[in-house]
A and B are shown apart, each in its own frame.
Chain A
């Protein structure tokens, strides 16, 4: 079955390559059309592959919200006119691939934003790269994503950058020597976060007392936490997404574990406070997104997002919002909706001032940015010092 699937992927990849070379003129034509528009606007279709239904639908909702808000503002400004085409991946690799193929071949999009999970990007990235479509991950933080190819970018800060930053600060402040680890072992994202945590802990000479795992959608973590409690760690390193992570913290606090938690990028969401309440105090995360920042751009975004959707934007919404701006900027600089030109313009993005901060791509299409380290105190994210 799996072998057949691989073959199928190979065949479709090959055939789409043929298809692409056959209709290379077609896309140029589309570019020519928009260039010829009388008001000088560059029109472009942008495909979005996102986790809209299923267990991670909360991320998909946030991403969709951020993108739609950005699209409205960009189109209002009038330099470029973007049209978003949403496709659901349901968090599944095969569905993400089909969705991307549809966007690339039948919708003829200029660029793709998404997919949501790193696991999905691992199959969609090579396909987009082969077809020569620029693709920007807004939430894919695992190792090696932009290294897939020249057309693959991301604006989500990789775990390899965020986790050591937060660990260093936490260990310095609490003088921690013994740590316990807990992570979700059925997800590339949390697994890669765990690898970084473990490597950083070993490099810092910390004693790892125990390593526990859990699976997506689990609701009872008492067994793992009781075991961790018996080792009496100074600090708990938890590589989890917020849905599971918040429940882990809640159950840990109820059990009497009061040491701080250091989490990965996916743990960083206001939802943690909503779900775990007081139990979330003491969670330390490094974040590209801090909604309290005294920057008119950031505050404007938070206000507009809240007005439109009724809740505070999380990093998924913020990263999606910035990604579309970065893409719009590149399309504007490219001057036409041509896939190769947009790719080249994207690669040149430097010192872009978005709501996440000062942003540049390195030569591989990865992020250059300084993360902020935050801690939850009295039910609020504040800067950790």
Chain B
């Protein structure tokens, strides 16, 4: 049972990590919390459901479709909800947060009208592939989720650290005006970041749909809040922190069920986060901010 629970925890944790990566990317560059990220994630899942069950298309089409559509949504989010608020006189620093909350409510209601209330099953033959080790059933999807989360983390770290676009992004994160003066196309960099983060949300959405066979218009909210908690735990803007934080939360939630009471699942997981933050206020991998 222990190994099975470990697999459950890692699967859940990897999903949390992918969601948190999207959060951390946007926060790292723009310094804002994108509350609409959870809903973009939910849209990714729905598009996966639509493509695989309504159009009967293969899984890779679903992935491509979800990535393209969530990327477009990311662009729209940045173009219409975030950009108009930037560099404006008298705009509160909380304004972008509120406008992303607005977008998230809009998207939740929109998905309600488009896809209907209730649960949508994710029917993909890929999700059925499993192998038996003793009495333990391992699904290929569970392994794929873990692998994808690792790949995304490594790619992001590499991209941010070693490529020119990544350096431009970090420069923009450091100081928008200076980066702009030094010839970085900050507008494009910011747009790119939001698009990439959203597309990652879309990928996470499909993976959740396959792993749990459950897609609802409400799934974005709780996932969004968990993602937020994870980046605070891992350190705001840190890629490794998002990954570690996601796995910690996923495993903590699972093992509370194993050794404790499932009724306190979320309570204890979040209590753990509070304790970690008391010891390390900047998060596990966060840097101390000197002012």
Check A256 against B137 for contact (C-beta < 8 Å).
Answer: yes
Complex Cα distance, B68 from A372, in Å, reads 49
Contact among B117, B123, B219, B265 with A219 in the assembled complex (CB-CB below 8 Å): B219
B253 touching A223, Cβ below 8 Å: yes
A353 to chain B, nearest CB (A): 31
Q: Which residues of A contact B214 (CB under 8 A)?
A: 219, 247, 250, 275
Q: Is the CB of A251 within 8 A of B213?
A: yes
- Please, which residues of chain A bring their CB within 8 A of the CB of B116? 58
Min C-beta distance of A119 to chain B, whole Å:
17
Binary flags per residue of B262-285, CB closer than 8 Å to A gives 1, else 0 = 110110000000000000000000
A150 → chain B, closest Cβ, in Å? 34
Asked if A243 and B219 make an inter-chain contact with CB atoms under 8 angstroms apart, the answer reads: no
- Number of B residues, CB within 8 Å of A: 39
Instruction: Tell me the chain B residues, 115-151 only, with Cβ under 8 Å from chain A.
Output: 116-121, 123, 130, 135, 137, 139
A271 to B137, CA, bound (A): 27
A26 in the interface, Cβ–Cβ < 8 Å? no
Q: Is B9 an interface residue (CB 8 A)?
A: yes
Is B109's beta carbon under 8 Å from chain A?
yes
What is the chain A residue whose CB lies nearest that of B215? A219
Interface window among A69-77, A209-217, A337-345: A209-217
Write out, one digit per residue, whether chain A residues 247-287 have a CB within 8 A of any chain B CB (1) or not (0). 10011001110000000000000010011110000000000
Q: Tally inter-chain residue pairs, CB-CB below 8 A.
A: 102
Whether A247 and B213, one on each chain, are in contact in the complex, defined by CB atoms closer than 8 angstroms, is yes
Q: A55-B216, A217-B219 are in contact. Are A255 and B118 (CB under 8 A)?
A: no
Docked complex Cα distance between A277 and B219 (Å): 21
Contacts of A220 in B (CB 8 A): 8, 12, 211-212
Of the candidates A54, A224, A243, A251, which one forms a contact with B262 in the assembled complex, judged by CB atoms under 8 Å apart?
A: A224
- Whether B121 pairs with A215 at a CB distance below 8 angstroms is no
The smallest beta-carbon distance between B31 and chain A, in angstroms, is 30
Asked if A251 and B212 sit within 8 Å, CB to CB, the answer is: yes
Residue A185 at the chain B interface, CB threshold 8 Å? yes
Q: Within 8 Å CB of B219, what residues of A?
A: 217, 219
- Asked if B118 contacts A250 (CB within 8 A), the reply is no
CA distance A370 to B121 in the complex (A): 33
Taken together as a complex, chains A and B put the C-alpha atoms of A89 and B123 apart, in Å, by 33
- The answer to the question of B112 belonging to the interface, with a C-beta cut-off of 8 Å to chain A, is yes
- Name the residue in B222, B262, B263 with the highest tally of chain A Cβ atoms < 10 Å from its Cβ: B262
A61 to B119 Cα, complex, angstroms: 14
Contact between B213 and A215, CB atoms less than 8 A apart: no
Answer whether residue A230 sits at the interface, using C-beta atoms and an 8 A cutoff. yes
Given contacts A212-B257, A217-B219, A277-B121, contact A250 B262 (CB under 8 A): no
- A: contact size bracket: 35 or more
B223 CB to closest chain A CB, in angstroms? 9
**A86 → B minimal CB distance (Å):** 16
A213: chain B residues at CB < 8 Å are: 261-263, 265
A223 touches B119 (CB 8 A): no
When distances are taken between beta carbons in the complex, the residues of chain B under 8 Å from A56 are 117
Q: Contact between A226 and B5 (Cβ–Cβ < 8 Å)?
A: yes
**B254 contacts A57, CB within 8 Å?**
no
The verdict on A222 contacting chain B, using a C-beta distance below 8 Å, is: yes
Asked if B117 contacts A58 (CB within 8 A), the reply is: yes
Q: Which of B9, B123, B216 contacts A223 (CB 8 A)?
A: B9
Q: Is the CB–CB distance between B121 and A219 below 8 Å?
A: no
Proximity string of chain B (192-235) to chain A, C-beta cutoff 8 Å, 1 when within and 0 when not: 00000000000000001001111010110110000000000000
Interface residue? B55 (CB, 8 A): no
- Residues from chain A with Cβ under 8 Å of B212 in the complex: 219-220, 247, 251
Residues of chain B contacted by A223 (CB below 8 angstroms): 5, 8-9, 12, 253-254, 257-258, 262, 265
Contact of B119 among A227, A243, A277 (CB under 8 A): A243
User: Contacts A53-B112, A220-B212, A250-B121 known; A185 to B257 CB distance under 8 Å?
Assistant: no
Cα(A33)–Cα(B4), bound, Å = 70
Q: Kindly list chain A residues whose C-beta atoms are within 8 Å of the C-beta of B221.
A: 217
Q: How many angstroms from the CA of A222 to the CA of B265 in the assembled complex? A: 13
B1-16 to A contact mask, C-beta < 8 Å, 1/0: 1001100110110000
Say yes or no: A214-B262 contact (C-beta < 8 A), given A53-B109, A227-B257, A276-B121: yes
Please determine whether B119 and A275 come into contact, CB atoms closer than 8 angstroms: yes
Chain A positions 50-86 with a Cβ under 8 Å from a chain B Cβ = 53-58, 60-61
Across-interface contacts of A212 in B (CB, < 8 A): 257, 262
Shortest distance between the CB of B207 and any CB in chain A (Å): 12
CB of A246 closer than 8 Å to a CB of B = yes
Known: A247-B119, A251-B213, A277-B121. A217 touches B257 (CB 8 A): no
- Whether A217 pairs with B8 at a CB distance below 8 angstroms is no
Contacts of B12 in A (CB 8 A): 220, 222-223
Choose among A53, A57, A61, A217 the residue that contacts B222 (Cβ–Cβ < 8 A).
A217
Q: Which 3 pairs, one residue from A and one from B, show the smallest C-beta to C-beta distance?
A: A57-B117, A223-B257, A58-B118
A-B contact pairs, 24 of them (CB 8 A): A53-B109, A56-B117, A60-B117, A61-B117, A213-B261, A213-B262, A215-B265, A219-B212, A219-B216, A219-B219, A220-B12, A222-B11, A223-B257, A224-B262, A226-B1, A243-B119, A247-B119, A251-B212, A254-B139, A255-B137, A271-B118, A275-B120, A277-B121, A277-B123
- Chain A interface residues toward B at CB < 8 A: 53-58, 60-61, 185, 212-215, 217-220, 222-224, 226-227, 229-230, 243, 246-247, 250-251, 254-256, 271, 274-277
Q: Could you list 16 further interchain pairs (A-B, Cβ under 8 angstroms) beyond the known A226-B258, A229-B1, A255-B4? A: A57-B112, A57-B118, A58-B116, A58-B118, A213-B262, A218-B222, A222-B254, A223-B12, A223-B262, A226-B4, A227-B5, A227-B257, A255-B137, A256-B137, A274-B121, A275-B121
